[in-house]
Amino acid sequence: MKKNRLEIIKGDITNLNVDAIVNAANSSLLGGGGVDGAIHKAAGPELMEECEKLNGCSMGDAKITGGHSLKAKYIIHTVGPVWHGGYKDEPEVLASCYQSSLKLAKDKKIKTVAFPGISTGVYGFPKDLAAIIAVNETRRFLLKSSYPEKVIFVAYDDDSFEVYRKILKQ
């Protein structure tokens, strides 16, 4: 795998010029707080209309919509786990979020995809463990697939950026 297929940036995922962004959604897919609310707001009301037709999404799974008013052509919605101390299969469910999202990207031949820190906001998943899972699952997937060509991890704050930067250096 080429090393330049993975990148970390600090910024607002809704402003990225990529083929797809990943939304850390809730199971209704009808918007919420954090990244989910920001994506819904930036994408416009058409996103809500499209999401209403999807009948929600199971935890660990992913569904895809158009990007609407975003620069991204697609939004991949995935439902991460709420952290309960790691005793309710949270790491496995989070890994499944990345696998499901990357599989959708591969199936749609999406070249560039950006991920936020899934479940690390109000869902309380520890940022360092979440980043390890994100990077490991993505590396594993990219070893077997030519799509997506590039995966960008988007950190919203300095702490998250540093966690990903250290993991990606390994």
pLDDT tens for the chain, 170 residues long, are 455 899 999 999 999 999 999 999 999 999 999 999 999 999 999 999 999 999 999 999 999 999 999 999 999 999 999 999 999 999 999 999 999 999 999 999 999 999 999 999 999 999 999 999 999 999 999 999 999 999 999 999 999 999 999 999 98
* Total domain count, the chain: 1
**Which residue type does 137 have?**
E
Q: Which two tokens stand for residue 76?
A: 């991949």
Which member of 12, 36, 61, 157 is catalytic?
36
CB distance 113 to 151 below 8 Å: yes
* Spatial distance between the Cα atoms of 134 and 55, rounded to a whole number of angstroms: 26
Catalytic residue at 89?
no
Which two structure tokens, joined as six digits, stand for 43? 């994408």
Give all strands of the β-sheet with 20-25 in edge-to-edge order.
Answer: 6-10, 150-155, 112-115, 20-25, 74-79, 62-66
Find tokens 């940022």 and name the residue: 127
Q: What is the CATH number of the domain that holds 112?
A: 3.40.220.10
Give the structural domain span for 34.
3-169
